Chain A
Amino acid sequence: MTVPDAWYLGLSAVLFAIGIVGVIVRRNPLVIFMSIELALNAANLALVTFGARLGSPDGQALVFFVMAVAAAEVGVGLAIIVVIFRSRHRLSVDDLSLMRW
C-alpha cells in the first residue's frame, strides 16, 4: 500500500500552521526564528510531494534552492540576533522597548 499524496500534504499543512502559531505565541527571537524554519520545512515538504505527483524533478530543484536560501538566512539572522542580544539581560522580543513590536 503506497501512502497517498494527501497524507503528506496534510502533514505539511499541520506543520506549517504549528510554525506560524509558534511565531506569534513565542517571545524568544531564537524560538520565533526556529518556528519560521519549521514553516519553511513544511513548504518544502509540500513542494517535494507535488513534485513526486508530477514525476518531474522540478519540486526537488525548488527545495534545493530553498535550502540554500535558508542557510543564508540563518547565517544573517543569527548574526543580527547575536549582535542585539549580546548586551541584554533577557532574551525576548518584548524587551525591544525602544520600538513597539
Chain B
Amino acid sequence: MTPIPAPPIAWNALLPILVLAGTAMLVLLADLLPPRESKQHLGALALAGIIAALVIALVRWGTDVCGFRDMVRLDGYALFFDIVIAYAAALVVLLSMDYLRRRGAESGEYYALVLFAACGMMLLASAGDLIIVFLGIELMSLSLYVLAGLFKSRRQSSEASMKYFLLGVFASAFLLYGIALLFGAAGSTNFERVAAAAARNPHDTLLLIGVALLLVGFGFKISSVPFHMWAPDVYEGAPTSVTALIATGSKAAAFAALIRFLTTALRPLQPDWTALLWILAALSMTVGNVVAIAQTNLKRMLAYSSIAHVGYMLVGLVAGGPQGTSAILFYLFAYVFTTAGTFGVLTLCERTGGTPEPDGDGAVDVREYAGLGRRSPALAFALTFFLLSLVGIPPLAGFFGKFYLFGAAVRAGYVWLAVIAVLNSAVAAYYYLRVVVYMYMREPEGAAATLAPSFAGGLALAIAFIGIVLLGVMPAPFVELAQVAVAPLLR
C-alpha cells in the first residue's frame, strides 16, 4: 500500500470563501454563549466576516491564482463577483438585523445560513470545474430553501420554501444529467478540457444535448422564462430580507458561473448557444414586464420585474465579446444595489401592516404605500430613486447599465433584440412609476404610522443609495473594472 501523497493546497484561491465559512461556524458557536435574549451581536459578527471577505477581495484585485487541479480560479472575474456578492450579503445582513428583530425571528442559524449561501455563491464565481458549479449551486440553494421557509407559521413562507425546493432540485437533476453528458463527451468536467473537446468536435451529439440540459438547469437558477414559474411565489412568500438575497446574490452567482462556463468552455459553440439565449432573452423581458403590470403585490411585481432584468442581462450574453460581457457585470453591480435598496424599503415598511403576530403579512400591497411621501419622506424619497434606477432614468446606475447592455447588442449586430429591450424598458416604466404615484399622490386609507428605520436598516439603505448614485454619476471607472474583470475569460 503506497501512501497517498498530500496534494498541494492553494489557500490563496479560496481565501474569501474560507473567511465566510469560518465566520459561519463562529456565528454558530457564539450563538451558544450569552447574551441569549438579543442576537444583534451575531448579525454584527456575520457582517464583520462579510466585510473581511470584501476587503480580501479588494486587496487581492489584480491577482490570478488557480488551485486544486484548476477547479477554482480566483482571477479578476471571480474577485469582481466576490465583491458584488459581499455587498449583497452585507446589505441583506444589515436589513435582517432590523427586520428579524421586529418579527421576533432573529436567530444565529439565520446568519450562519446567509453566510453559507454566500459561500456557495462565491464558489460559483470562481468555479473552473462543473463539479464545483454543482456543489456551489447546491450549497447556495440548500441554505436559501431553508431561509425561504423561515417564518414557519406563515403559510406562504413554508409553501414558498417547498415550491422553491422541489423546483430547485428538479432543476438540479437536469443540471446533473447535463454534467454527466458533458463528462462523457469531454472525459472530464474541467472547463478547459470541455473547451478542448468542444474545439475538437463542436457538433458532438453528447456535447450539444449536455449543454441543452445544463442550460435548462441554469435557466431555473437565474429564473429566465420559461423556467421562471417558481420566482413570483417564492419572492412573495419568503421573508423579505431573504427575497432580497435570492434576487441579488443568487442571481449574480448563477450568472457568474453561466457566463464563465459559456465563454470559456463553450466558446466553439457560441453560435449555437447565442441563438438559444436570444430567444430566452426576448421571452424573459417580454413576459416579465407584461405580467408585472397586472400585479398589485409589490413583492410579486418585483419578482416579475426581476425576470425582465434577467432578460436584459441575457441580451449582454447574446452580444458577447468584451463589451457585452463587461456590460452584464456592470449591470449586475448596479442591479444588486438597486434591488437590495428596493427590498430594503419594503422590509422597513412591512411593519405598518399592523399585524400583531410575528409572522403576519406586512405591507406589500401597492395601496398601502399611499401617502408614504408624507408619512416618511426619507423612505419615500429613497424608494423613488431605487425605482427610477430600475426604470433606467439617467443619471442613476440602472440607466448606464441598460445603456451599455443595449449598446453592446447594437454594436454586435443584434438590433432587433435591442429594440425589443428598449420597448420593454418603456413598458416597465409604467408599473414602477405607478408605485411612485401612489406614494406621492394618493391619500392613505386610515391612519398609518410614521416609519423610522433603525440604524442598521438606515445604513443599508444609505449604502445602496450611495451605490446607485455613484455608479450613475461616474460609471467610467466601474466599467473599466468590469472590462478588466472579463479580460481573463476572453483571452
Contact = CB atoms under 8 A, between A and B. Distances in A.
Interface stretch (B7-15, B184-192, B442-450): B184-192
A23 B156 CA distance: 22
A69 B135 contact: yes
B170 interface: yes
Interface in A72-99: 72-73, 76-77, 80-81, 83-84, 93, 96, 98-99
Contacts of A96: 159, 162-163
A90 B188 CA distance: 45
Contacts of B176: 40, 43, 66
A76 B165 contact: yes
Contact of B169 (A43, A73, A84): A73
Contacts of A62: 131, 179-180, 183, 189
A98 B184 contact: no
B113 to A, nearest CB: 11
B362 to A, nearest CB: 16
Contacts of B163: 96, 99, 101
B160 interface: yes
Contacts of B146: 76, 80
Q: Which size bracket describes the interface of B in this complex?
A: 35 or more
B237 interface: yes
A54 interface: yes
A80 B162 CA distance: 6
A84 B160 CA distance: 10
Contacts of B180: 43-44, 46-47, 50, 62
A75 to B, nearest CB: 9
B44 interface: no
Interface residues of A, number: 42
Contacts of A49: 184
A67 B161 CA distance: 23
Contact of B166 (A16, A33, A98): A33
B158 interface: yes
B177 interface: yes
Interface centre among A29, A77, A100 (most CB of B within 10 A): A77
B165 A83 contact: no
Interface string B142-178: 1001100100100110111111011001101100110
Interface in B172-219: 172-173, 176-177, 179-181, 183-184, 187-189
Given A19-B173, A50-B180, A62-B179, 19 more contacts: A36-B169, A40-B176, A43-B180, A46-B181, A47-B179, A58-B189, A59-B183, A62-B189, A65-B131, A65-B135, A69-B135, A69-B138, A72-B138, A76-B146, A80-B165, A81-B162, A84-B149, A93-B162, A99-B163
30 contacts: A9-B184, A23-B166, A29-B162, A29-B166, A32-B166, A36-B170, A40-B176, A43-B176, A43-B177, A43-B180, A46-B180, A47-B179, A62-B131, A62-B179, A65-B134, A65-B135, A66-B176, A77-B166, A80-B158, A80-B161, A84-B149, A84-B158, A84-B159, A93-B166, A96-B159, A96-B162, A96-B163, A98-B156, A99-B233, A101-B163
